[in-house]
Amino acid sequence: MAEQQIALVTGGNRGIGLEVCRQLAGRGLRVVLTARDPRKGEAAVQQLAGDGLAVEFLALDVSDPAAAEAARQWVETRYGRLDVLVNNAAVYLDESVSIFDVPLPDFEATLAANLYGPLHLCRAFVPGMRRRGYGRVVNVSSESGQLSTMGGYTGAYAISKAALNALTRVVAAEAGRAVKVNSVCPGWVRTDMGGPHASRSVAQGADSIVWLATLPDSGPTGGFFQDRRPIAW
């Protein structure tokens, strides 16, 4: 597309989300960085603006069902459309906790952020992408959501990511091939969630996300990727 593309990244104030915003803006996209905390979001935008990157802040709590529609109205009023949606925001509330012991409110909060948030945003933005004949949706998942290797503990998080992968398949099927909808595992990344001993930098974690967000028209859809290669569901 000749005109500047518009991208929205959830959970963009830190870690992988912030690096995705940096890399997309560095490629010339106009990036809407969203975060639940306006103070942290504005600080992140100022950080990127200091590097000469075109990034704008929008407050967005993905756990709020009404927030996705409000975001759609804001984006369409300001830019007329959205080309790229990166569903990165997530919570990890049950590290090393047995499925039998996860408090129900934590389970519900995990699903609200990790599954229903992307669902609401897809419902808000993908129909417009389909009408315009172009769109890229990247759902940031995890190897924890792979049914092929899934085990015990961190059950709420794992189940939420497996469900996110299922959402990817369903949305991709309904969106049509002009809208590329994919899941990605960034790997074990040195973030607040991954911890300081993780094996990957944020730049490495963001790479496949940015690749999927900027796929050519011949690119894949409905897949699950790591390091730019398909992985098992």
Instruction: Return the closest-CA partner of residue 23 out of 51, 46, 62, 60.
Output: 51
User: Which of these is catalytic: 79, 116, 153, 157?
Assistant: 157
134 catalytic? Reply is no
Point out which residues pair with 136 in neighbouring strands. 84, 180
Give the integer Cα–Cα distance in Å for 20 and 28: 13
What tokens appear for 55 in the block? 């990034």
Longest dimension (CA), the chain: 53
- Distance between CA atoms of 212 and 92, rounded to whole angstroms? 24
Active site residues: 157
